[in-house]
Homo-oligomer: A and B are copies of this chain.
């Protein structure tokens, strides 16, 4: 599990309310940048910056058509991220809490 950096990039991207809203907007189909822009009070350059972050982590894909750019969610990255979230939050074998001397109180008591 050395994907920490890969997926924390995704979480960081989702860690901004406006970007989370954009993801929500894209959840039922692709949208043109100008359509997204309409729904926010935000400059065009700021939106472009947010879309760049969402794309760089793989969560969103951009597609050019003429002078427009259409954005949509990337299903594979979504599923992998969900899996990563489950991985780091669910119990597993060989975890640290099962090692000897993992508990400060216990350590003291064994002395």
Contact = CB atoms under 8 A, between A and B. Distances in A.
Interface string A9-28: 10111111101110111111
A91 B17 CA distance: 19
Interface residues of A, number: 52
Contact of A88 (B8, B20, B34, B92): B20
Contacts of A20: 4, 7-8, 11, 88
Contacts of A26: 97
A24 B11 contact: no
A1 interface: yes
A102 to B, nearest CB: 6
A90 interface: yes
A54 interface: no
Nearest to A65: B105
A42 interface: no
